[in-house]
Structure 1
């Protein structure tokens, strides 16, 4: 009975979170460079921006994304222009930003991976996307295929032109189209041998390797790509023991 109750509750929570996505409400996670989290009340009235790590205190309030400081917005657009128009790769863009003393939204140095995440995240064109990753109790963390994602287009203020964003995606996809399945897997095997383990972040940081999203798209999921190269993740990254015990599932 307890197990059945938990499953029914999970379904209801999942459906409720999906409705919030369609309304443009943010479901956890940092805003990201160039964006900020803002609080609105149940009528949609703006209440103010949330500081990094700050949480809402009233249950009926909701969190949405808004444009960040002008200098950060301008820098996000410059990253896209350098990548699309000047054909500058992520690693070189990161080096340029670090040389100029510019730091990420978390106050850290830029890496190939952090630049890559800006180039592939739809929130910069105003889309709210959720359920890209899921974790069910006693199951492994799974990167879901795009057909399982919840999405709502144009619910946040776009800070990057959609045509520029699509051009960036085309460039990123073409990098993997040139490789066969076996070439992609061999590159993943070599990366595992060099690093000792694999993760989406490690893949995105690797120079000359297709992105983690490219592996997920080509092989159905990142875990399936891991399986094909004989790698099994030993732990769930980013989840505490107490969270794993208490939550029926967690999705991002």
Structure 2
């Protein structure tokens, strides 16, 4: 776990690169599956790694929605920390600066104009955009949407 924090803070790796490196090295996640962007994000932003216990973070009345931090119930130093508070604070700062620099809210010139707008009818996961074709001399490019959960498990 310490390696994940070190890679993000000191090596300037992103969530995807950390997950990819762990998968390439064959290091399984705690569930025995491959690492994903979201599992790395969850670890890096989980206060349990600095010794805190936090409750009441989500509202489940209409799906899972994160509550404002003011509503969280936090008990500090409930167990031994795996990373220092300084490292955890650096993660927050780096994460915010990456979002500011990512042009997240600027229009992009993607052909996938419905990106992020609809869910899989079977499992409720986000539908993600993919494209195929244009390989080995073919000129046909097919763009389509697929269940994000299905795509992660197939690849």
TM-score interval for Structure 1 and Structure 2 normalised by the shorter chain: 0.5 to 0.7
Displacement of 1:186 after TM fit?
5.4
Call closer, same or farther: CA 1:171–1:140 in 2, change over 3 Å. same
Partner of 1:213: none
Partner of 1:249: none
| 1:155 corresponds to which of 70, 75, 78 | 78
Partner of 1:124: 49
Matched, 1:173 2:96: yes
Residues paired across the two proteins, number:
120
Normalising to structure 2: TM-score of the pair?
0.66
Distance 1:149 1:166 in 2: 18
Partner of 1:7: none
Call closer, same or farther: CA 1:157–1:147 in 2, change over 3 Å. same
Q: Where do 5+ consecutive residues of structure 2 fail to align? A: 127-155
Distance 2:47 2:113 in 1: 29
Give secondary structure in 2 for the equivalent of 1:117: helix
If asked which structure has higher relative contact order (CA below 8 Å, sep 6+), I would say: 1
Q: Where do 5+ consecutive residues of structure 1 fail to align? A: 1-75, 203-252
RMSD, aligned CA: 2.8
Displacement of 1:133 after TM fit?
0.5
Normalising to structure 1: TM-score of the pair?
0.42
| 2:114 corresponds to which of 193, 204, 214 | 193
Partner of 1:135: 60
Distance 1:192 1:152 in 2: 43
Give secondary structure in 1 for the equivalent of 2:80: coil
Displacement of 1:143 after TM fit?
1.7
